[in-house]
Amino acid sequence: MNSLAVRQLQKKKKEKEHFYQYWAATGGHDLSIVQAASKAILLIPDPDLHLILSRQIGDDGAHAIAFRERIIALTGRDLIDDIRKEAERHWEFLEDVLYRNWLGFIAWELHYEHHILPQVWFNKLTSTIGDAVLAQQSSERSSDDEAIHRVTIKNWYKLLLFPVLTKKMK
């Protein structure tokens, strides 16, 4: 094999490793969402919010499982340790902001469900390596799930704030 072919194989191997690590990181991101939403259920005694968050926990847990299972199918490797480490990185950054009080949780929720959206779309549009199975799963389910999370948490927050704002106006 000539040196050009060897370099191309090495590049392809390196790109695949980055691809797998990206999905492990995405799985870790979703795992951290599952953990955060679970903590919020204990923090905020509101059954409406509990139902919203139970949907989010299930959806994001399913997304993380799909990423994990797809990488196992492609590589034979289970990246659960990488997924766990990525979730831990989120917690190192966030510390206890999410569960100090409900305002910390809402700030986090609005960030993760709204602020991060442009980055997700940018990654989708600019990615040069993809996986048809994950792309199909994303288009069939994940996009709808994420839209539901955004709308329901925003509506819950508006209902929470509306009485406070109305009182201050009087």
CA distances from 18 to 4, 15, 51, 67 (A): 21, 5, 36, 14
Give me the torsion for CA of 84, 86, 87, 92, rounded to 10°: 120
Neighbour count for residue 47 (Cβ, 10 Å): 8
For residue 24, is it left (φ>0), alpha (ψ between -120 and 50) or beta?
alpha
Torsion over CA: 91, 94, 97, 98 (sign): negative
> 109: closest CA among 161, 52, 68, 64?
52
Please answer whether residues 30 and 61 qualify as being in contact, where contact means their C-beta atoms are separated by less than 8 angstroms.
yes
Domain map of the chain by residue range?
Answer: 3-169
Q: Which of 68, 102, 69, 70 is nearest to 86 (CA)?
A: 68
pLDDT (tens place) for every residue of the chain, 170 residues total: 677 666 766 777 777 777 788 888 888 988 998 998 898 888 888 888 888 888 888 888 988 898 889 888 888 889 899 999 999 998 898 888 877 887 888 788 777 766 666 666 666 666 656 666 766 666 555 556 666 666 677 667 766 666 655 555 55
Quote the pLDDT of residue 113.
66
In the prediction, which pLDDT does 84 show? 94
Q: Count how many Cα atoms sit within 13 Å of the Cα of residue 65 in the half-sphere of its side chain.
A: 7
Nearest to 35, CA basis, from 70, 69, 72, 86:
86
